[in-house]
Amino acid sequence: MATLTLPAPAKLNLFLHITGRRTDGYHNLETVFQILDHVDDITFEPAEQISVVNPLVDVMTDDLCYRAAVALQRHANTERGATIHVNKRLPAGGGLGGGSSDAATVLLGLRHLWGLDVSLDELALIGLSLGADVPIFVRGHSAFAQGVGEQITPLALPEFYYCVVTPDVHASTQQWFSDKRLTRNSEPVKMHGFRVGDHFNTFEEIVSEAHPQVSEISAVLRTQEGCRFARMTGTGSSVFGCFSDEDFANNAAINVAKLGKVFVAKGVNQSPLHLALGIVHNKN
């Protein structure tokens, strides 16, 4: 088989609430994941062993893509391999899900490359063992998520445009989840009648206190023509403004260019990865 290149899309958390802490130390959350059409590219080449080429990772065995490939290999009891090239476009550590999305693309890409009879349910479970955000990318649809992020209900969201800004600061997911100031008892939301822009991100206030650039970007985005709302995604540090019109989003990108790395993307309901593989939703 010739080489295969597949997309690994970004995501946004349109809101993010923590509703409680579990006995295992993890947190229960509620969030809406919006899939974007802005992607990393993952290229697969048939090979005898598994190897990953990722310029952002020094030790291959630490790479989430490598761990995903090995986990699938073991689950399927196969000795097949592949060389996996990761072409990064998504900012790292910004709350855009890039590493988790790359891992999900590896799971789905290798299932295709190796011709495995492995369901999306099985891939999602493998993904959950790698990280809480991996299953949403395996499922491949914008969704409401609960639990640690593994309880997923697909949503049909308006396909707005998003101006996404990532400042030059590092926001540690582990640090913010353990922060004593974090609100851990948000009331569960009622998704009936949900509108894009409803609710808030629990982490935004405490991240902004440590990194004022986050609140500055959010404030500037809100002043842009056509901006419906602005919010931090995940545990940061990326901030997005939501626009109904692509021209407004592009104009905003020009105006905030000095505040960080900027891109404009469209929110989509079906993942570009699923479209590339011809996966029909509601079927495994």
Under the banding of pLDDT at 50, 70 and 90, the label for residue 284 is very low
**What pLDDT does residue 283 have?**
42
198, pLDDT greater than 70: yes
Closest CA to 274 of 107, 152, 149: 107
Could you identify the residue written with the tokens 């009331």? 187
Under the banding of pLDDT at 50, 70 and 90, the label for residue 56 is confident
Domains, the chain, with CATH or none: 4-155 (3.30.230.10), 161-268 (3.30.70.890)
Give the mean pLDDT of 158-165.
98
Closest CA to 89 of 38, 134, 13, 163: 38
**What pLDDT does residue 282 have?**
60
| Whole-prediction pTM | 0.93
CB 132 within 8 Å of CB 126: no
Q: What does pLDDT average to over the chain?
A: 91
Give the mean pLDDT of 11-20.
92
Under the banding of pLDDT at 50, 70 and 90, the label for residue 217 is very high
Q: Which of 4-18, 76-90, 144-158, 223-237 has the lowest mean pLDDT?
A: 144-158
CB 170 within 8 Å of CB 93: yes
Give the mean pLDDT of 161-177.
81
Query: So which residues are the catalytic ones?
Result: 11, 133
